Chain A
C-alpha cells in the first residue's frame, strides 16, 4: 500500500519535473530566452519597489536556490555547473543579483522618501571612517577571507595543463573563458573586427563618455530610480541583457558545434541543426523577385559593375543593406530627435546627441541583429567579403 503510493508519487513527481524540464528546454531557444529575460528585466524595473522589499527578495532568492538545486539534480545541468571553468558563473549570478538588489533597494527607499519630502538615506550619512580600527579591520578580514577562498578554490578545483594543441582533437564546443562568453556570442552574429574590436572598444569608450553625455546632476551621490528611469533602464539593458544574459546563454545553452541546447538536454555533437543563413542581398535580389514573379525582375545577384565601372558590382549587390543601415544610423536619429528623443536632444545639444546615438545605435544593433538571425536566419546586412566589411 505505502509503496504503491510512494511509487505513484515518485512517478507523478518525475513526470512533473520532466514536464518542467521539457518546457524550460523548449524555452531556451535564444529568441525565447532573451525575450523572457528582457520581459523579466522590464517587470523588475517597473516593480522595483515591490521585489526589493527584504521579505520578497529573500523569498525570490530562496525560490532561485531551490530551482538551482533542483536543476543540479539533472545530470546535464550538473555537468555544466560543476565544470571548474563554470564555477564563477554561479558566483556571478549570485553577486549580480545581490548588487542589483542593493542598488534598487536603496533607490526604492530614497524614492519613497523623496515623495514624502523626507531626507535621503545618504543625507545624514557621515562618510568618514576611522582608518584604525574600522578600515584596517575590514581590509584585514576581507584579505583573509579572499586568501582562504582562493586557496581552497585552487586546491579543490583543478586547472591542469592540457596536452598541446592538436588540430585533430579540438574541444567541441570551444568556449572562451566565462567572462568572454558574451563577446564570443557576439562573434556568432558579427564579423570578427566588429564583435571583437569595435564593440568592446565602444563599450569602454562609451562608459568613459557617459559622464560627458549625461550631465544631469540628479542621482549624483544618492540612489534613485524615479528621477533617472531612462538612463538606468538603458544601462540595465546593456549590462544585464547584453552582458550577463549573454554569458549565461553562452555557458548553459551553447553546446557542441556551437548549437543551442536546453540546459537539461544532453550535449549530442551529432544532433542535426541545419540553418541556412542568408544575406540581405540574397533577400532582395533573389528571394523577393522569386516571390513576386515579375517578368522584368529576374532573381540573381548583380555581378556587373555599373556607371562605367565606377560603381563596383558589390556596391550594387549590397545597396539594399547599405540603404537599411544608413537609415538606421543616420536617418533614424533625426526622426528620434524630432519625436521621442526631442527632450533629450534639447537638453544635450547636437554634438552630444551624435555621440549618444553612436553608442545607442551600436548597442541596439546587437539585439536587432540577433533577433533577425534567430527569426529569419539573417547573416549580414552588408557583406563585402573582399574588404572585410560584413555587418
Chain B
C-alpha cells in the first residue's frame, strides 16, 4: 500500500532573513512580520490536522527558504487516507489570496476585516482578538510559543501556563494571559522609552556638535589667515627722506609691513614702491646692496634695483604699488598694483599713480 508523508508540525529555526518567500508560497502557515524582523508560524498551523492538507506547499516553502530555516516533521500515512482537502493551486499572489483561500480558513474569516487589508497578505483567520494580540506578543520558535516579556512578574500557575505552547492553554487562561501580555506595561515602556530617547539625544547631539564644530573649524581654515581689516595705505614719512637717496638705492624700512611689504626704490626720475613678493613662486627676495640686486633665496631669481627681472626663473618684474604724495608725506596704497608683463614691457609703470616724479 502506498504511503505518503504528511506534515504535522512546522517551525522556524533562528536565522530567518525575512525574505517573504515562505509567505508567498504558503500564506496559510507562514507570516512574515517585518516589524519584528522575523517570520512566524501562524497559530492555526500549530495544529497537525491543519497542516496535513498543506503538506505540499509547506515542503515547497521549506525548500525555497534561502537560508533553510524552515523545519518540519512528517508522518507516514496511507495514500488513501490523504484528506482530499483543497490546496492552493500554487503560491498565491498577495492580492489573489482571498480568492484562493482554503475553504477551512475561509469559513473562519472575520467579517470585520477592513477593506484596506485586501491587498495585504491574508491575516490569520482567528475569531478571538486576544489571540490576535498573542500573536504580537509571542514568537514561535522551535515549535513552542514563548511569551517574550514579563514572565517574572506572573503568578506561578500562569508562568507555568505561559511556558505551554498556545494550543495547549485552556481557553480562558489563554485569553487572560494574552490580554495581559499584549497590553503594554506603562512604566516600563515609558522608562525604556526615556532611556532610549536620552541615549539617542546624547548620541546624535554629540554627532551634531562634532559636525558643527568641525564645520566651523573648516570655515575658519578656509578663510584667509590675515587680519580682516588692514589699511592698504601706509604712510611712509616725508618725501625728503627719499629724495636724499641716490638713484638705484633701496629703502627697506617697509619690508616687514603686514600683509604685504614693499621697498621704496629711487630711480633716476622717480621713486616707486616695489612689492617684496617674488613673481616666480612668492618667496621674498633679499636686497643685496653690494651686487645692487634683489635675489630670491628659493630658486635664484634676480631683479635689478628697479625690480626688473634679469636672471633666474621669475617671468615678470616685481610688482609696484600705487604711491602718491599727501602734502609732504609719501603714501603707498597697496590696494592698487601696477604689473609689468616682462622686462621690456613696463609701460604700466609710467602711470602717474605708479611713481612720484622727482
Contact = CB atoms under 8 A, between A and B. Distances in A.
Contact of B297 (A166, A256, A274, A275): A256
Interface in B280-338: 280-281, 283-284, 286, 288, 290-291, 295-300, 302, 310-313, 315-316
A275 B302 contact: yes
B344 interface: yes
Contacts of A160: none
B276 interface: yes
A126 interface: no
Interface string B26-42: 00000000000000000
Nearest to A279: B342
Interface in A276-299: 276-277
Contacts of B256: 166-168
B316 A188 contact: no
B51 to A, nearest CB: 54
Contacts of B281: 187, 192, 196
B280 A192 contact: yes
B297 A174 contact: yes
A247 B300 CA distance: 16
A258 B261 contact: no
A133 interface: no
A270 B297 contact: no
Interface string B72-114: 0000000000000000000000000000000000000000000
A187 B280 contact: yes
B159 interface: no
Q: Among the interface residues A301, A380, A386, A388, which one has the most CB atoms of the partner chain B within 10 A? A: A386
A366 B268 CA distance: 40
A191 B280 CA distance: 7
B118 interface: no
Contact of B312 (A166, A275, A386): A275
Contacts of B344: 301
Contacts of B311: 274-277, 377
B248 to A, nearest CB: 16
Contacts of A220: none
B209 interface: no
B255 interface: yes
Given A168-B256, A174-B283, A276-B310, A184 B315 contact: no
A183 to B, nearest CB: 11
A257 B297 contact: yes
B288 A257 contact: yes
A383 interface: yes
Query: What band does the interface of chain A fall in when counting residues whose beta carbon is under 8 Å from B?
Result: 35 or more
Contacts, number: 87
B296 A168 contact: no
Contacts of B197: none
B200 interface: no
A172 B312 contact: no
B341 interface: yes
Given A188-B312, A272-B290, A379-B313, A258 B300 contact: yes
B342 A170 contact: no
Interface string A260-281: 0000000001101011110000
A30 B255 CA distance: 33
A97 B286 CA distance: 38
Nearest to A176: B298
A174 B312 CA distance: 15
A190 interface: yes
B315 A383 contact: yes
A385 interface: yes
Contact of A258 (B255, B312, B315, B341): B312
A157 to B, nearest CB: 23
A76 interface: no
Contacts of A379: 313
Contacts of B286: 170, 172, 257, 269
Q: Among the interface residues A259, A379, A390, which one has the most CB atoms of the partner chain B within 10 A? A: A379
Nearest to B300: A258
B298 A258 contact: yes
Given A166-B256, A167-B276, A276-B311, A259 B284 contact: no
A174 B298 contact: yes
Contacts of B288: 257, 269-270
Contacts of B302: 274-275
Given A167-B261, A170-B284, A270-B288, A386 B300 contact: no
A172 B278 CA distance: 14
Interface in B203-262: 252, 255-256, 261
Contact of B255 (A167, A256, A269): A167
A166 B300 CA distance: 19
Interface string A354-391: 00000000000000000000000101100101101010
B297 A168 contact: no
A189 interface: yes
A84 interface: no
A168 B255 contact: yes
Nearest to B340: A385
Nearest to A386: B341
Given A167-B256, A167-B284, A191 B300 contact: no
A15 interface: no
Q: Among the interface residues A258, A301, A386, which one has the most CB atoms of the partner chain B within 10 A? A: A258
B313 A187 contact: yes
A189 B300 CA distance: 10
Nearest to A165: B284
B295 A257 contact: yes
Given A167-B255, A168-B255, A258 B291 contact: no
Contact of A190 (B296, B310, B313): B313
A275 B309 CA distance: 11
A30 to B, nearest CB: 12
6 contacts: A187-B298, A196-B281, A275-B312, A277-B311, A385-B315, A385-B342
Interface of B: 252, 255-256, 261, 276, 280-281, 283-284, 286, 288, 290-291, 295-300, 302, 310-313, 315-316, 341-342, 344-345
Interface of A: 166-168, 170-174, 184, 187-192, 196, 256-259, 269-270, 272, 274-277, 301, 377, 379-380, 383, 385-386, 388, 390
Given A258-B297, A275-B310, A388-B315, 15 more contacts: A170-B283, A174-B283, A187-B280, A187-B298, A187-B299, A190-B313, A257-B300, A258-B299, A269-B288, A270-B290, A272-B290, A276-B311, A277-B310, A377-B311, A385-B345
